[in-house]
Structure 1
Amino acid sequence: MRDVVEYGHRVLLAFEDGSHFIVSAGEDSFGTHKGVIDLSKLIGAEYGSALKTAKGEVFFVMRPRFVDDLFKMKRRTQIVYPKDMAFIVFMMDVKEGDLVIDAGVGSAAMCGALARSVGNMGRVFAYERRKDFYDIAKSNLEKWGLLDRVELKLKDISEG
């Protein structure tokens, strides 16, 4: 079975010069320094394949990794960076099936890392008191497909 891009999939477009962009496969076009990309042409392309911009510049069609999203995601807060996330998850020994509390979710970068670590059998209980941060966090967790592992609460953790 081929692993291909479908309509609405989030795709990482990687150029040989190291530049990369995350887009949604669909009906729009996307302008880059290497030329315009018709996003409808991504649909049906195999992940890992090479395509060309309107200017003939080669780019690769990739699945975005969680770490790619961290640097491209919508945020209004400072995030915990991957090397620190790894240290925290390792030192806390977070693993499949664990129950974890996250206070002050912000943009959900750390919450996302925790949700990935606890897996489908675990749960992250996440608290954010600011509505604007809560909305961004919820959007990011939905985009990453992790909201089902998180009980996201719009309240101060001291209020339970």
Structure 2
Amino acid sequence: MSEIKWVVPMSSGNHVIEFSHGTTTGSRLIKVDGKEVVRQDWMFRLVGEETFTVGPKKVPARLKIEAVGGVTYSYKLYLKEKLLEKYVREAAKNMLIWKVILPSGFKQRIAIEKDTLDIWVGNEKIEAESGFTDNGSEQLFVLEGKQFQILVFTSGKRHEGIIHQLIYDGELCVPQDP
């Protein structure tokens, strides 16, 4: 029995994909965030592919099982038809994440997708009040009675591009790595 686990960072949070492969029976079990999404109990063919989705945005995923030699197998995970490593690299370029401590003491993860300006708080996409400013745009939302503001504006420098800032309780928050 081979078992492997991947952690996939997305705007909705880190999602855990677990895979168990019965190398004698061909059985396959895939779990996403602890929930079973694929189960094949007995298969004559030990190699092949399984498809499923990940996260609330239902990102298409494909797990490819290949024989490397004898009874050794390789497992490749694809998201949106990109190998996991490439998907993670591209997603990191399109996402900013901040971690803030709310008045209740709870540490909350806030993410913004740069291309759509969708805001995710924890695992939930939230609606924000959007508007334009003199320099760009802003999105306003409230968590635990506190005002949050995401400002999006141009840096004025070609190599820096667009700047995204989170202001919480009047203070600028520093983004984290995905």
Do both proteins adopt the same fold according to a TM-score greater than 0.5, normalized to the shorter chain?
Answer: no
Higher strand share: 2
TM-score by length of 1: 0.28
Structure with max Cα Rg: 2
Higher helix share: 1
Taking CA–CA contacts closer than 8 Å with sequence separation of 6 or more, which of the two structures ends up with the larger relative contact order?
1
